[in-house]
Amino acid sequence: MSQVTQSQTTQTTATFRALKCKECGEEYKLEAKHVCEQCFGPLEVSYDYDALRRQVTRETIQAGPNSMWRYRAFLPVATDNPIDVGTGMTPLVKSNRLARRLGLKNLYIKNDAVNMPTLSFKDRVVSVALTRAQELGFSTVSCASTGNLANSTAAIAAYAGLDCCVFIPADLEAGKILGTLVYNPTVMAVKGNYDQVNRLCCEVANTQGWGFVNINLRPYYSEGSKTLGFEVAEQLGWKLPDHIVAPLASGSLFTKIYKGFQEFVKVGLVEDKSVRFSGAQAEGCSPIAQAFKENRDFVTPVKPNTIAKSLAIGNPADAVYAIDVAQKTNGNIESVTDAEIIEGMKLLAETEGIFTETAGGTTIAVLKKLVEAGKIDPDETTVVYITGNGLKTQEAIQGYIGEPLTIEPKLDSFERALERSHTLDRLEWQQVLI
């Protein structure tokens, strides 16, 4: 607590001012706290927007680092030296071949499959959470993860010299486990699903005094996702898109892209405009999509059963806020099957050269479904958010993507194989292989 006060008095530029309950509006000091004592609602960071308007211009942002920290004034940290490992400012790619395949004229891909350091959007939220963890005096950081968060927390903690203990469901993909262990944190592989991991972590947070990035530091952590909104607005030439499509696990990312756009409007960096928000879930874990379809403002928790493990949260914390955003922006929340997710991964790879993980396959498959249902206008400037890298979920597509042609190191062996590959068209190949 004393550290918060100290860092704030030494920093005249800090624009974040309180933690505020999203339900009842009660305000709290900027501590490691995530639940309202009055009504148990979630806490969110609030800012002094007048100060932001005075401090920030397009030019001051462009003069900042080529990372997410160019938007530091909009993030809940006081220091001028945040943990910056080059996270953010990932490519916004104008889609040609995927757009044509889907019949869209203005499709863009925000490619966080190449985010640094661990190839998913989680590096954004963790960069903020660990910077804030240091400011609040934590020496050990932790998380309850569906995979990517463990990778990010372990990597960035290693860089920052923080002790790290992460919790994951024991049945995660090999790439996500290996991609955590290499940074040498303590890894607790819990025999249970994510929701059980999360419940355990809530208890540990109370007993160990650690900084859990997505529990007691959640208000700070989640703000990092706003940078996915800021970057898209800046990369579109300081304009908002017409429509965005993003994946939903807890629903946090989705709501924070919305908050990011709103903030840029509020401080006069972009013109106001209605942006439609559409969300993507895997059918095997689609509590938010189901509630949206049935017009409910509450979710019924589910037991996840899908290859999209990074999205497999059966009792999502920000579901009601995500549904609210989709409803008030005239968007949609859809779900797709595991088979469609694999097709989505292949489609993005074959048309754009981007290898995404199952979460990205989910998002592309939902994009396709929405276009086919007439729920995305071909002329709309649409941004699809690709949040993770396919190298981490290789088992999902094993057996669905063909095989190399094995040949002798001889010209005639090559020529015979080439001949054979020409006579078999793609479809036949797939039938042979499936």
Query: What x/- string results for residues 246 through 285 when contact with ligand PLP is judged by CB under 6 A?
Result: -xxxxxxx--------------------------------
387 near ligand PLP (CB under 6 A): yes
Q: Helices (H), strands (E): how many in the chain?
A: 17, 13
Residue nearest ligand PLP, Cβ-based: 388
Q: Which residues contact 34 (CB under 8 A, 6 or more apart)?
A: 42, 43, 215, 216, 217, 218, 219
CB of 378 to ligand PLP, least distance (A): 26
Under rule CB under 6 A, which residues in 300-319 are in contact with ligand PLP?
310-311
127 near ligand PLP (CB under 6 A): no
14 near ligand PLP (CB under 6 A): no
Considering beta carbons, is residue 142 or 310 the nearer one to ligand PLP?
310
Considering beta carbons, is residue 121 or 138 the nearer one to ligand PLP?
121
Cβ atoms of residues 143 and 153 within 8 Å: yes
How many residues comprise the chain? 434
* Candidate list 155, 349, 359, 396; residue touching ligand PLP; CB under 6 A: 359
- How far are the Cα atoms of 193, 238, 276 from residue 235, in angstroms, in the given order? 38, 7, 18
DSSP, collapsed to helix, strand or coil, labels residue 92 as: strand
Q: What type of residue is 243? A: H
Structure-token match 């624009």, residue found: 15
At 376, give phi and psi (nearest 5°). -125, 125
- How far are the Cα atoms of 26, 34, 253 from residue 157, in angstroms, in the given order? 32, 21, 21
7 near ligand PLP (CB under 6 A): no
* Candidate list 20, 122, 176, 226; residue touching ligand PLP; CB under 6 A: 122
Say what the alpha-carbon torsion angle 403, 404, 405, 408 is, to the nearest 10 degrees. -140
Considering beta carbons, is residue 252 or 278 the nearer one to ligand PLP?
252
DSSP, collapsed to helix, strand or coil, labels residue 26 as: coil
Under rule CB under 6 A, which residues in 229-248 are in contact with ligand PLP?
247-248
CB of 313 to ligand PLP, least distance (A): 6
95 near ligand PLP (CB under 6 A): no
* Candidate list 7, 95, 131, 148; residue touching ligand PLP; CB under 6 A: 148
CB of 225 to ligand PLP, least distance (A): 6
At 337, give phi and psi (nearest 5°). -80, 165
Considering beta carbons, is residue 24 or 182 the nearer one to ligand PLP?
182
β-strand 381-386 against 106-111: which pairing, if any?
A: parallel
Q: Rounded to 5 degrees, what angle do the CA atoms 13, 32, 43 make?
A: 85
Total interface residues for ligand PLP by CB under 6 A = 17
CB of 253 to ligand PLP, least distance (A): 3
Task: Give the whole-angstrom CA distance, residue 92 versus residue 414.
Answer: 39
Interface residues with ligand PLP (CB under 6 A)? 120, 122, 146, 148, 247-253, 310-311, 357, 359, 387-388
